Amino acid sequence: MAAPQLLQPNFHVKSSPTEEFEANSPRSISPHTNTEPAKPKYHPLFDSSEADIILSSSDRVWYRIHSFTLRNTSGFFGTLFSLPQPQSSRSCPSSAPFEEDSGVGGSSAEEEKEEEESASPIPTHEASEILTLFLLLLTGKPVPTISSWGSPACRAKLGDPCSSDPALSTSCDVIERVLSLAEMWDAPGPISYIRMGITSPTFLEKDPVRVYAMACHFGWDEARNLAAQHTLTIDLLREEEPTEPEKVIAEPRNPSESDTVDAGSTFASTPSAETAAASSIQRGLERLASKDLLVLLDLRKRRTDNFRMLLNSPVRFSAGNTPDYLCARCGVTQLDNQSWRLLKDALIFEMDRRPLGDQIVGKPVKGLGGADIMNLGAMEWPEAGPCWQARCTKEGCGGLNYDRVATLRQIAYCIDGLPLHIDDFRKC
């Protein structure tokens, strides 16, 4: 199994399954087992006494599951269980063939109780929140909506303890960890389920960079292209949040906060939604291979370069871009295009930041972005007013330099025609 590049896996069944079996004692391979054995706390959805394998999460939740299921849904366990096993212990995964020792042969209640007390789970380093979702997928049981993963409601529904792990604060965090686990355990079922889920509008609009990173890692071309298009709605290379406390104090988000925030505690406050979004973008970028990041940057650059070229075209914007263009009304005065040049600079600056252009036209572009219906786009920008108000200076003429409606319509045409698909450098 290839080591994942997507993220640092939090999961480690020990590196060599053979070594585990030779040790023949899960306690020798678990970091938890140096302490007193914990009382078994079976997950309510995985507590069937007929199951012959016990997996343990890092927070000591136990899962009873059939070895047959593990063997047939996970390449890792298929290999693990095919290795020669000692015949002494039945609760250890290194026990003799599970078909012969599955506990369905009619052991007495006392034996079962004794067995439970002496049960030794296979330890994993994965939190119960992750392991529960993974095993639900693996065993074909009902799974909460993928967009709810990581939420308190989802944890409560599954009976998992609240996670204190800051690395599991969003749905994408949880999805990435379940994906990583599925990859490490060579479980294609959970991976295919997540593949369908992450292309929902919820994720594409909220975390397109993270979705793009996952799609790149697993080679999901359709999801990759969709996610790349959605990254055009965000300022991918935005500057980091301010790190100088003085700056934050000088511009308090809420005047009442300025009294209680001092330089030492400024950044101990709860991060804003904007900061959280920036952090998520940053984490997504960190997971990208350089070739995949280049693909994203290339798409942005092609759109910006094309847009700049179209804006400077004298064919599309003749009044503003044609040298010595004369007033359309009097035919005498040469236009002063300063206001048009300033508007073009503002348009290109915006396209450079968010190359979709929905913030310019104030509506969705090719079905993407434009969520804020109150945004009227460039029409109401401060750079636009002087442009629409510019008039011929000849006495008695006063003709408008530019046709506002025609100009805005032409800008929208330009944006609609910009490239929207990524070029795959990997195939070059």
Cβ contact 386:339 at 8 Å:
yes
Give the alpha-carbon dihedral of 187, 190, 195, 197, to 10 degrees: -170
Output 330 or 379, the one with its CB closest to Zn ion.
Answer: 330
Interface with Zn ion, residue 29, by CB under 5 A: no
Q: In 3-state terms, what secondary structure has residue 401?
A: coil
CA distances from 382 to 320, 342, 347 (A): 18, 10, 12
53-56 β-sheet, strand order: 62-65, 53-56, 122-123
Q: Name the H helices within 54-144.
A: 67-73, 75-82, 109-117, 128-139
Exactly one of 78, 189, 197, 399 binds Zn ion (CB under 5 A); that residue is 399
Judged by CB under 5 A, the stretch of 26-34, 190-198, 356-364, 392-400 that binds Zn ion is 392-400
Interface with Zn ion, residue 136, by CB under 5 A: no
Question: Which amino acid type is present at position 103?
Answer: G
Interface with Zn ion, residue 330, by CB under 5 A: yes
Cβ contact 425:291 at 8 Å:
yes
Exactly one of 78, 394, 400, 410 binds Zn ion (CB under 5 A); that residue is 394
Extract the tokens encoding 380. Answer: 């109401």
Residues contacting Zn ion: total by CB under 5 A: 8
Output 335 or 343, the one with its CB closest to Zn ion.
Answer: 335
Judged by CB under 5 A, the stretch of 36-44, 102-110, 172-180, 397-405 that binds Zn ion is 397-405
Output 122 or 327, the one with its CB closest to Zn ion.
Answer: 327
Output 249 or 397, the one with its CB closest to Zn ion.
Answer: 397
Exactly one of 30, 266, 304, 333 binds Zn ion (CB under 5 A); that residue is 333
CA distances from 352 to 53, 223, 356, 412 (A): 55, 24, 9, 16
Q: Closest Cα partner for 375 from 266, 277, 233?
A: 233
Output 198 or 390, the one with its CB closest to Zn ion.
Answer: 390
Output 329 or 366, the one with its CB closest to Zn ion.
Answer: 329
Draw the binding track, 290-329, toward Zn ion (x: CB under 5 A; -: no contact).
-------------------------------------x-x
Q: Which residues make up the interface to Zn ion (CB under 5 A)?
A: 327, 329-330, 333, 392, 394, 397, 399
